Structure 1
C-alpha cells in the first residue's frame, strides 16, 4: 500500500486483517468490478470499483468470512490524485444486512496516500460484532464524476469467544433500549400505570433521576420557576459542565437604570470593586468644567447608588482630581488613592506633590499616608498609571504612566509650558505605553512587554502591616 495517512486508528495495529467477500452492490462500470477492491494495486488505474452513476444511493456490501468486532477500515488509492476519489462517505455495519449501525461518517483526501479510520465498535459498556459492512459513497471530488473505491482492508478481532460475548451483549443492549423506548412511549401518552408496571417488572431506569424530575416539574406541574431552579442546581453541580465548555461566550450588555441620586456624567474618574460585599466605589473625575472629589458606592445586589461624601477634601481626603488610580484591599477593607492630572497652568513645583491616601471603608475615615511619595523613594506625581494590590502579601504595585514635571530653565520655561514624560528606566526606549492593565487573578501580575519603571514603595507595606 501507499504511505498511510491516519485518522487515529491505533487499535488497528493490534488487530488482524479480516477476510471478506463482495455480498452485493448497487452498480459498476464496465471492467471496474467490485472484486477489484480486494487487491491493492495503486499503480493500476483499472484496479478499482467504479459505480455507473453518481446518483444516490450507490453502495458496496462486504460480508466477512466469519463475524468479527471490526475496529478499523483502510482505503487504498491510486498513485495520483483522482477526481473519482470519495470526498464524503458513510460506513454501516451489523450482524444482519438490513439491520445496521452507522460506524463512520467521513471523507478521503484527494491524494495518493492510503487512509485508515477507526470504526465504531462499542455500544454502552460493551463491544458488538458485525458480519456485514456497507460502504455508501456520497460525493466524489469531481462533482459530476462517478464514485471509485480502489482498495479496502478491514481489521478487527474475530476470536470466537470474544465475538460470542459481544453478540450476547448486543442482544442485551437491544432489549434494554427497546424497553426504554416502550417506557418513554407510555409516559408520553400519560399511561403511567403501564409505565410503572414495566419499570417495576424490569428494574430498568428510563433516564437519570434529574431528567425524570425535570419531566415531572415541567410537563406535569408546569412550574417554570422550579425548572429554572433545577437547571441552576444542575449547572452548579457540574451536570452540564461539558456542554457549557463547548459554548462560545457572548457578551451581553444591558443598561443599568437606578432610582434616586446617582453620579453625574464625567471622565477620568476611577472605580474599584469590593468582591466580598459586591460594592463598587467611585471617586472623583472631570465633569467637563472642573475636577471632582465626590465619593460614591454602588451596591450590585440592590442596584442602588449611595453618596458617601460630596467632597472628601473637606473630611481629610484627597483634593479634587482625575486620571488618578484606586486599589482596594478586600480583607482590610481599605482603599488607596495615588496620582492625578494637572492642567498646564497648575504645574508649579509647589503643586507637583504626589500625595498618597488611604480610606477606611468601615470607619469612613481618610488618612494621608504621605504628602509626597517621591520624597520617600516612591513615584513622582503621575497619571494614567496602573495600581494593583496583593492582599495576601500586603503589597501594592504601581506601574507605568506619565510623570508631571515643573517648568525648567529651557525654552519651555520661557514659554510657560511644563513637561509630561513617560516613566521609563531606559531613556532610549521608545516603546513606552501609558495604558497598562493588571490582572490580580490567582496573585499573578501580567503586563505588556513595554518594560516601564514600576515602584513598590516600602511605606505602603508598612502601613498595611501595621494596621
Structure 2
C-alpha cells in the first residue's frame, strides 16, 4: 500500500462546492477559485463579512486521500488575503477533523495536510476552508485559487476507508471501556472487554492503574515503572526528548610529528565519508591568505594525513574560503563549488564560478566547468549550501551571496531594496542565489527556483546565507533551516519534495514551522 500511495501523492484532485439555498451568492462566486488567474482581481471568492465563522465547503468527486493544498494569490499584495486559516476534512460534513492550522501570506504556496491516523492514510470527501483573519483586520476574506493534491485511486481509498472505519470503532469501544472502568462498573467493563476482544491499553498501564487504585503504597508502582523502563517501553518517548550532546576534543596522539595536522583556519569545508569513517577538509582562510590544502582525517585511528598541500599542483582548485564540499560516497567523488573574493580583488576573470571534481581513489582533479553561470548554473556564490543525492547522482545548491564587481556592495544593509535618484536600485543592494539542480551523469544544470524577494515574516522560501540544508535519501526531501538575509536572521524551516521538482517546483514547497 505504501509504494502505491506514494506514486499518487502529486495527483490533482477534482472537487466542487456544496450548494445551500441561503448561500447561493457565495456558491456562484466560489467557483472563481477553481481557476488560477492571478491577474484578474475579480477571480476570487469573498466572504460577506470579516467576522468568523466564514467558510467554504468543497465536495470531492469521490473520496480521496488529500495530502496537500495549494493556494494561488492575486499578483499584488491585497488586504483581503487570508492571514490565518484552518483546513478541516472528513467523510461527512458533520464529522470533520482539523487538517491544517497556520498562517498564509500574499504569495502562492502549498501546505501539507494531515492525512494519516494511527499511521494509516485516511480519506476525506469534504474539505472546509475556515478563514480566521485577513491581512486587513476590518476587511472581509478573499481566496483566489485552491488546488488539492493526493491519492484518488478508488481501490486504495476503499481499503483505507475500511481500515479507518475499524479504527473509529476501536476508539469508540475504548472510550466506552474507559468510562465504565472510571465509574467502577467492573462487571460491565469485564463483559465488554471480553465480548469486543478490544484492549483498552497496554497491560503494564492496566497493572499500573490497579496498583494506584486498588493497593496502598507506592512500592508496587515504582517496581512496575522500573520494569517498564528496563523492558524498553520508554524508548520511543525518550527518543523524542531533546538531546544533550557531549563534546570531546580530538587531540593528535603524543609524539605526533609537527605539521602533520591542518593549522587553524576559518571558512573551510568538511565532509564525512561514513563508509570509510573519514573526514575530508579543504581550503579555508588562515588570517593572512586563502588556503588550497586537502586533508583526510581517519576517525578510528585518530590520525590526519595530508592528501595535497596545494591542490593547484594536481590541476585542482585555487585557494578559497566560504566554498562548499559534497561527497558521493558510493563513487568516492568530491565536488566543490563557490568561494569568496575580496571586493578589492574582484575582476571579470576571477568572478567565474568554477566547479571541480576530485576522484578519491585515483587522486585526480577534474575541472567540470570554468563558469557554471554560462551553462545554466549559479553565478559565483559564497556561504551557500550544497548536498548530494548519491542514488540519482544529483547535486542541489541553494542560496548564498552572489559576488559582483560593485565596490559599493554591502555598504548599507539597512534595507533589502532602496531606490536611487535615477529610479533604479542603490549600489548597496545584495544579490542572492536561488535553488539549482546539477545532474552529474548528463553534466546539466537546472534552475528550480529563482530568489524570491518576499517581505519579512513571509512563509515563502527566500534565498539566504548561513543556513543549513540536508537531503533525506528515503523521503527524498530537502530540509532547509534558518539562515540570514541582509540584516534579518531567519528562523523558518522548509521541506522540498525533490522527486517532484521537475513537474512544478513551486507546488511542492512546504513551510514546516517558524521558531
Class of the TM-score when normalised by the shorter of the 2 chains: 0.3 to 0.5
What is the TM-score of this pair, normalised by structure 1? 0.47
Q: Which has the larger radius of gyration?
A: 1
